[in-house]
Structure 1
Amino acid sequence: MKQILLFGAAAAIFLSSCVSSKKYAELQTKQKQTEDLLNSATVKLNTCLEEKDSYKSQLDVLRRNNQDLINNMGNLTTLTAKGADNLEKSLESLREKDLTIRKLQDAVTRRDSVNLALVQSLKGVLGNLDDEDINISVEKGVVYVNISDKLLFSSGSTTVSARAKEVLGKVATVVKNKPDFEFMVEGHTDTVPIHTARMSDNWDLSVLRATSVVRILQNDFGVSPSRMTAAGRSQYIPVASNDTKDGRAKNRRTRIVILPKLDQFYSMIEEGMKDPEIN
């Protein structure tokens, strides 16, 4: 009996020892799993921390870029405002230039209208004179009356003919009614040289012929001398070749240049500036 009890006790102790080893093994296994899970969690945590730092860096970059964009938008707004201001100034300058051009065009139109009226008046009083003897033209806003020396003077003479005085009287009638104009009487010659007691050359001849016409206009027809200029151009502004008789005849001429007074032309511009259509 005693032996049986001893055997039973030994068996119980053995069985108890076997259960504890199994549980220990299970605990070890669970510990290993727990360590593996912990290690895996640690790895994931480190990865997340690294990603967080990366995202933070990207966020900082995005914030800086966003601020740069905001700043650039502000600069762009400033530049756009300056551009608009400059554009407005340019448009205003163009408007002013356009206004000036329109004023000048209006003044030129007025001048051309006055010249046209002057030409019509001259042609009206001079009648149907031979075009070879007298010609009226407008060039660059200036009225020219060309009178051949065949009509005005004898060869080499500075004395105005009786028929020429009649023509000059008609011209005087027109210019006296146009007080806003001044005019210059120009003497022109051909290239045939001249030398007399009174004249050394064609310069003298051209000047003396011009002054003869001016004196007739002043003394015989009452044209104000303050409105006239006498000028000699000699042989140096020909209108035809001096190699032929006909060419030399065309070059021997007296030209009356009629032009608006400068202050009158400025008055035309000022009047144009007051025009309601312009303003």
Structure 2
Amino acid sequence: MNKIILSILSITLLSACVSKKKFSSLEAENKKNKDLLNTATVKLNSCLEERASATARLASLEERLAELRKTNEGLIESSKELTVLTTKGAQNLEKSLESLKEKDLKISRLQDALSKKDSVTLALVTSLKREVGISDPDINVNVEKGVVFISIADKMLFKTGSYNVTSKAQTVLGKVAKVINSKPDFECMVEGHTDNVPYKKGVLLDNWDLSVKRSTAIIRVLQELKVNPSQLIAAGRSHYVPLVENNTAENRAKNRRTRIVILPKIDQFYDMIEKEMKNLAKEE
């Protein structure tokens, strides 16, 4: 650049001393140098612009790189947390499966216990039907909701309006006592049922009194037949649990009955289940 300026000054100073031809030559060279200067300046400005643009792109790329590094670090941390959660989830799932297995085993044991109870109930029904007999329409042996009961018509046990057990009832109750005595782990609840005709006789106030009095009368006979009294339960239902409507003499006769319910002792039944649970625990 300095050389070009000196050249221009030299041309100016010598213009007075040189010939016209020489001056024209110097002027042409000067123009050429100016053109070169202008071209160099344009190229310099272009390079400066490209440098600024490249610097801006570099800054943008560096910022993007920093963001990517931050994102990558976050993904690595998330991956670690996910691994921990997955491990915990697998452990929890394994515990849940073990718990389900235990519950399945317990349910299986309980079902076995219930099956044993059902087997005992079936055997009891068979025994009762064989001992008591099912040919008499006034005696019915049945199972209701897993409970065995014997329903005996009123006319086989008592005289009309009385709670004194007849001699005819001794035979039937003797057979019932035999079955009860063979099942010391069972209880026997005697339910007295009446019709809806109001009753008041002697010291008895109503059908409640009559139904309970008939129940205790049957229990005393069973006790005389060597049935363990701790197995016996007295209950009176009055006329509130009829078999049929009390609208005819025939229906009222059906409703006057004594129902003997034979069922396992609840505490012993739960003992049986508890025993199965303890066996299960030992096996584990």
Q: TM-score, normalised by structure 2?
A: 0.85
Match of residue 65, structure 1, among 40, 60, 71: 71
Q: Any conservation in 1 of the 2:134–2:140 contact (CA below 8 Å)?
A: no
Amino acid at match of 1:166: T
1:262 is displaced (CA, Å) by: 1.8
Equivalent runs, 1:135-174 vs 2, <5 Å: 135-174=140-179
1:269 aligns with 2:269: no
Aligned-residue identity in percent: 50
1:27 corresponds in structure 2 to: 33
Q: Give the residue type in structure 2 aligned to 1:189.
A: T
- Look up the match of 1:38: 44
Q: Which runs of 5+ in 2 are unaligned?
A: 1-15
Matched, 1:230 2:240: no
C-alpha displacement of 1:44:
0.6
The question of whether the paired residues in 1 share the 8 Å contact of 2:134 and 2:141 is answered with no
- Report 1:1-279 matches (<5 A): 16-131=22-137, 133-219=138-224, 221-273=225-277, 274=279
For 1:230, give the aligned amino acid: A
Give me the whole-angstrom Cα distance separating, in 1, the residues matched to 2:134 and 2:19.
164
1:4-30 Cα offsets, whole Å, 9 max, x none, are: xxxxxx998655544443433333222
Report Cα offsets for 1:217-238 as digits up to 9, x if no partner: 111x100111111111111111
- Which residue type is aligned with residue 207 of structure 1? V
Q: Distance in 1 between matches of 2:191 and 2:129?
A: 20
Cα separation, 1, equivalents of 2:20 and 2:208: 160
| Secondary structure at the counterpart of residue 195 of structure 1 | coil
AA at the equivalent of 2:142: S
Moved more, 116-125 or 188-197: 188-197
- Over 3 Å counting, the alpha-carbon distance change for 1:237 and 1:180 in structure 2 is same
- Cα separation, partners in 2 of 1:17 and 1:244, compared to 1, 3 Å: same
Cα offset, 1:271, TM superposition:
4.2
Structure 1 residue 90, shift from structure 2 partner: 3.2
**1:128, 1:152 → 2: CA distance?**
17
Q: Which letter does structure 2 place at the counterpart of 1:257?
A: V
With normalisation by structure 1, the TM-score equals 0.87
Q: CA deviation at 1:38?
A: 1.1
Following the alignment from structure 1 to structure 2, what is the Cα–Cα distance between the partners of residues 140 and 100? 23
Corresponding pairs, count:
267
CA drift at 1:169? 0.7
Contact kept? 1:142, 1:258, Cα under 8 Å: yes
Q: One-letter code of the match for 1:202?
A: N
**What is the letter of the counterpart of residue 263 of structure 2?**
L
CA distance in 1, matches of 2:209, 2:50: 119
**8 Å Cα contact 2:132-2:176 kept in structure 1:** yes
